[in-house]
Structure 1
């Protein structure tokens, strides 16, 4: 049976975000000509990888309208089809380098303010334009694969489904609904309204997916629908080309964190730095803590053994991970962050497993990540926001070579049996094929 034509909504293919990497790996066996993506302009860059898909529709100023007076300051994005492989022609269509000051101002001040007073839930609306409808009609997809993490994206997806009915697959990445109504005078109003709108979208879906087993269990209880777990699979051959197999420590051992500094992660990274400082003092050692993040923590100069390094190309990650002596995967311990991350599973988790480097997790107990690690024993785990406890666990791992080897070997086995893209992508493909069989009903 030939593969169905899939329209992916709200998530582009890329190698620098968790969602983009996961999407690329799940659809790795798909025919390029059978994939298309529709997403907002701020998600697209000139460095997009056209390999898995090059048929995009950028939802720009003709589809997305801002309320007054925000419409006076919002960036104007091109609306229309984009061939990702045609880089020269895309320079006028895709926004290139973005102002760091503008991004910081929006993320650090405007977004929190709008979230508190409730404006963020209606500050902009994405609607079907005549141009998008024509593109959608010409594409004539067999099935929709949807991700949504805001009220705006939920309503837009619902509008697409109403305009052209097709089988719907909805994939949940994070428990963003739990953060709605956390703060602000209108929290109860928005919590109830968005919950109703979100449930309406879920009820339109023919297949529901979650990012972790824990999420799927919770959502079964919360929404009364079955969810199937699909997390980021990995290309084992890609990771085996530099896989670590030697567990003797380097002369100056390194603990590595590679990722983004998100909600509250900065505090956990500082705790790790403090724990390593304590170990160095006690053991008279010179252990380095390397932080490979999108920005430099403002406290880093206070620790002589903490080094920041820029992101590297995805193709270089196997070497970077294998060269570290320990990989650390931290979460935030704040109550607000716990609600968001509780059911999530980091994209880098199976990548860490496949690297062959021993892993330590620093995260709250009641999270999908900790539950998964403890069930399959692929990492050492610290569940208290306590620097002394973290220091002791790290020190034990540094001093115990058989333990490092045992953890790393187990992690590699889990990666091979549960995250092999050849197996997971095939199962994912079969799920979509089965769902797409309903297309004939709509056409």
Structure 2
């Protein structure tokens, strides 16, 4: 009798500097995608003393961290990481030799960690795929150390990748034009249970109707001079143009003094930082979610191509989204084409206040936006894309 031997399952190693439990964009994206991954996977990441931790934000697979002995040494390492890449290489090589993955999944946006991973994979002849969360070379000046790394390594990393993934169609076109190489789309994804629970909650709230006298506008996420600072300042100025019953809340990683220094403080705005689950509750209870991108004085190529991580939570919140960004940005184009957000492309506090007031007065418009947002969320169902990665691993 012939006995069939069970074929060994092929394995994937994810290499991303940011990973749960640290609450930053790339960590959230990796968690969403690989929480639905059914194959064998492990991850390599960096411990980040300066980044907020959410104890409920757990890793989707076994994870090994490059960890400095204390926060001071971590700050030194982060500052000079481009000169200390040998530490990254030693850490990555140790685990690739131990676990022998069939495929490595690189994630940018951390240049020194990415370059070190590339160098080790090439020397060990391990195939890799590359996912770009942000642009690289375009976001740094010639003088910046990471700009120098990009000019030396970006083309090589792209050329030698087994597959290359962009987050949006505009980013895909950008890199196709730049390198004349095939680029696939691997978008920001959403866990299926988040879509299902969000939709059920929204339908339940529709039956109950509105009860609060106040009308709340919520912003969550980072404040970045490169990506949204000037747009958030316009929201602060718009507060004085809104009726008194309209309240604004910001859940950001900055205290009141830092917000004052950035020019985004207003005495009528409520500021706080909360764990992910609590912020999601605030999103569901809000009346409008503010989704800004920079109009000026920023990394405009990045603004055009990016898809902000917070958009994922916004889409499944059951709350209308107000997109405040340039007309040629992917955010504005996608929201207009698919109807998942009310788009304001005029860079002024009055235009922003007018948009908020229109959503406040037209409840049918808000319902239409939310319905389209859930359709957009379903198109980003993590099960579909995690399955594609698993299929790719098993073809190696």
Given the two structures, how large is their TM-score scaled by the length of structure 2? 0.83
Q: Aligned partners of 1:353 and 1:210: how far apart in 2? A: 20
Over 3 Å counting, the alpha-carbon distance change for 1:142 and 1:413 in structure 2 is same
- 1:255 shift after superposition: 0.4
- 1:148 shift after superposition: 2.8
Query: Aligned pair count?
Result: 376
- 1:50 shift after superposition: 4.6
Write the deviation string for residues 135-182 of structure 1: whole angstroms up to 9, x where unpaired: 322211111000133442343022111232222110000113212226
Partner of residue 288, structure 1: 247
Q: Aligned partners of 2:8 and 2:219: how far apart in 1? A: 42
Match of 1:217 among 155, 166, 173: 173
- 1:400 shift after superposition: 1.5
Partner of residue 279, structure 1: 242
Match of 1:8 among 6, 11, 14: 14
Match of 1:306 among 262, 269, 272: 269
Match of 1:162 among 104, 118, 122: 122
Partner of residue 340, structure 1: 302
- 1:211 shift after superposition: 1.2
Q: Aligned partners of 2:222 and 2:26: how far apart in 1? A: 13
Over 3 Å counting, the alpha-carbon distance change for 1:347 and 1:331 in structure 2 is same
Partner of residue 194, structure 1: 150
Partner of residue 60, structure 2: 52
- 1:347 shift after superposition: 1.5
2:217 match: secondary structure: strand
- 1:351 shift after superposition: 1.8
Partner of residue 385, structure 2: 427
Match of 2:366 among 378, 394, 404: 404
Once structures 1 and 2 are overlaid, which stretch shifts more, 16-25 or 297-306? Answer: 297-306
Write the deviation string for residues 275-326 of structure 1: whole angstroms up to 9, x where unpaired: 232122xxxx421011111113217896343111222x22334422110011
Q: Aligned partners of 2:72 and 2:301: how far apart in 1? A: 32
Q: Aligned partners of 2:305 and 2:328: how far apart in 1? A: 9
Partner of residue 99, structure 1: none
Aligned 1:21-420 pairs, distance under 5 A: 21-31=28-38, 34-42=40-48, 49-58=57-66, 60=68, 75-76=72-73, 122-127=82-87, 133-181=93-141, 186=143, 194-234=150-190, 235-240=194-199, 242-243=201-202, 244-245=205-206, 248=210, 250-263=212-225, 265-280=228-243, 285-295=244-254, 296=256, 297-298=259-260, 303-311=266-274, 313-416=275-378, 418-420=379-381
Give the unaligned 5+ runs of structure 1. Answer: 62-72, 78-101, 112-119, 439-443
Q: Aligned partners of 1:126 and 1:256: how far apart in 2? A: 43
Over 3 Å counting, the alpha-carbon distance change for 1:339 and 1:309 in structure 2 is same
1:42 match: secondary structure: coil
- 1:412 shift after superposition: 2.0
Q: Is the CA contact 1:220–1:227 (under 8 Å) kept in the aligned structure 2?
A: yes
1:390 match: secondary structure: helix
- 1:334 shift after superposition: 2.3
- 1:327 shift after superposition: 0.8
Give the unaligned 5+ runs of structure 2. Answer: 1-6
Once structures 1 and 2 are overlaid, which stretch shifts more, 314-323 or 123-132? Answer: 123-132
